[in-house]
Homo-oligomer: A and B are copies of this chain.
């Protein structure tokens, strides 16, 4: 426990591959060096909390490896999984930018490496390099866009369809193609988490899974999922041919 608090090797931003593809790509060399000095990287084990709802926002987090679950608590106290964070993703900017306490929690779903960049360092960088703010602006705008799309989808899709959508995006991230053209993945999520993501109960997810097996769409065994005909998923989702 204790030794994980230390900064670990591999926390050097100058050679971080993630940096090429995310908001930080606009930093100039000396700014990257500044970032590398300010940032603190550490390992998290499965289930470990990165930050918790209600606590002050001390800085932001950059996922180097692993998968992170962002959850909010609904009005009756159930945690709802609202987003998954993957390598390259920057987490926790909301609280930081708005100067508010965290209103969501983050938990490593498996062994992960996550870098922490404190408030002051972020503000210094935003100040030095205006392009960084614009990068974040684009990123947040994209997220907002997706959130609205999800809002519309949730309002119109059946639970089964929403689950298939979820399965598809998880498959893209966590699945691997086998040599016979079928796909396999190891689910990173419990049924409860998946249920909360599509706004239903875990019992309903169980039933949906049963039906998918009956229909020959997919086979589930614990957290392992096999999909024989990956395009059978797509076909069922892509249903509506207008006019």
Chain A residues within CB distance 8 Å of chain B? 72, 74-78, 80, 82-83, 93-94, 97-98, 103-104, 126, 130, 133-134, 136-138, 140-145, 147-157, 196, 198-200, 240, 242
Per a CB cutoff under 8 Å, which of B78, B147, B153, B196 touches A148? B147
Cα separation A134 to B137 with both chains bound (whole Å): 8
Q: Report the separation of the CA atoms of residues A144 and B149 in the bound assembly, to the nearest whole angstrom.
A: 12
Identical chains in the assembly:
2
Q: What separation, in Å, do the CA atoms of A144 and B196 have in the docked complex?
A: 19
List 6 A-B pairs, Cβ < 8 Å: A72-B149, A75-B240, A77-B242, A83-B148, A136-B137, A144-B144
Check A156–B98 contact: CB distance below 8 A: no
Q: Are B97 and A152 in contact (CB under 8 A)?
A: no
A144 CB contact (under 8 Å) in B76, B80, B126, B147: B147
Chain B residues lying within 8 Å of A143, measured Cβ to Cβ, are 144
Contact B97–A138 (Cβ < 8 Å): yes
Q: Please give the distance in Å from A115's CB to the nearest CB on chain B.
A: 21
Q: How far is the CA of A152 from the CA of B199 in the complex (A)?
A: 8
What residue of chain B has the Cβ atom nearest to residue A156's Cβ? B74
What residues of chain B lie closer than 8 Å to A138, measured between beta carbons? 97-98
Interface centre among A82, A93, A130, A137 (most CB of B within 10 A): A137
Q: Which residue of B lies closest to A148 (CB)?
A: B82
Known: A147-B144, A196-B155. A76 touches B133 (CB 8 A): no
Q: In the complex, which residues of chain B have a beta carbon less than 8 angstroms from the beta carbon of A78? A: 156
**CB-based contact B151/A154 at 8 Å:** yes
A154 touches B155 (CB 8 A): yes
